[in-house]
Amino acid sequence: MRLRQGIAGAALFSGLLASGCKVGPNYRAPSMPAPPVFSDNGRNGSWTPAQPADAKDRGAWWQVYNDAELDDLEQRCAKANQDIAAALHAYEQAHALVREDRASLFPTVSVGADASRSRVSANAPLRSGAASYWDFLIPVDISWEPDLWGGIRRQIESTTAAAQASAADLANTRLSLQGILAVTYLQLRGLDLQAQLLRSTMDAYTQAAQLTQTRFVGGLATQSDVAQAQAQLEATRAQLVDLGVQRQQYEHAIAVLVGAAATGFTVPEKPLTGDPPSIPTGVPSELLERRPDIASMERHIAAANAQIGVAQAALYPQVSLGATGALESAQISRLFHSESTEWSAGPSASQILFDAGRRRARIDIALAQREQAAALYRQQVLSAFRDVEDQLSALRVLQEEAAVQGRAVDAARQSADLSLVRYKGGLATYLEVLTNQTILLNDQRIAAALVARRIVASAQLQVALGGGWDTSQLPRN
The dihedral built from the CA positions of residue 189, 195, 197 and 203, taken in this order, carries a sign that is: negative
Q: Decide: 266 and 247 in contact? Cβ < 8 Å.
A: no
pLDDT digits (tens, 9 = 90+) for 163-207: 999 999 999 999 999 999 999 999 999 999 999 999 999 999 999
**Got the DSSP string for 367-435?**
HHHHHHHHHHHHHHHHHHHHHHHHHHHHHHHHHHHHHHHHHHHHHHHHHHHHHHHHHHTTSS-HHHHHH
The Cα 419–Cα 414 span in angstroms is 9
The Cα 257–Cα 177 span in angstroms is 7
On the question of pLDDT at 322 being above 70, the answer is yes
The Cα 390–Cα 126 span in angstroms is 92
H or E element: which one contains 27?
none
**Got the DSSP string for 321-352?**
EEEEEEEEESSGGGTTSGGGEEEEEEEEEE--
Half-sphere exposure of residue 206, counting CA atoms within 13 Å on the CB side? 7
Residues 6+ away with beta carbon under 8 Å from 263: none
Kindly list the structural domains of the chain, giving each domain's residue range(s) and its CATH number in brackets, ordered by start: 23-106+148-317+362-473 (1.20.1600.10)
Pairing of strands 114-119, 108-111: unpaired
Confidence tier at 258 by pLDDT (50, 70, 90): very high
Query: Which of 153, 41, 132 is CA-nearest to residue 388?
Result: 41
Contacts 24+ apart (CB under 8 A), 101-104: 101/152, 101/155, 101/156, 101/159, 102/156, 104/145, 104/147, 104/152, 104/155
Q: What is the pTM of this model?
A: 0.84
What pLDDT was estimated at residue 329? 85
The Cα 101–Cα 373 span in angstroms is 22
Confidence tier at 124 by pLDDT (50, 70, 90): low
The Cα 278–Cα 46 span in angstroms is 6
Longest dimension (CA), the chain: 137
Confidence tier at 19 by pLDDT (50, 70, 90): very low
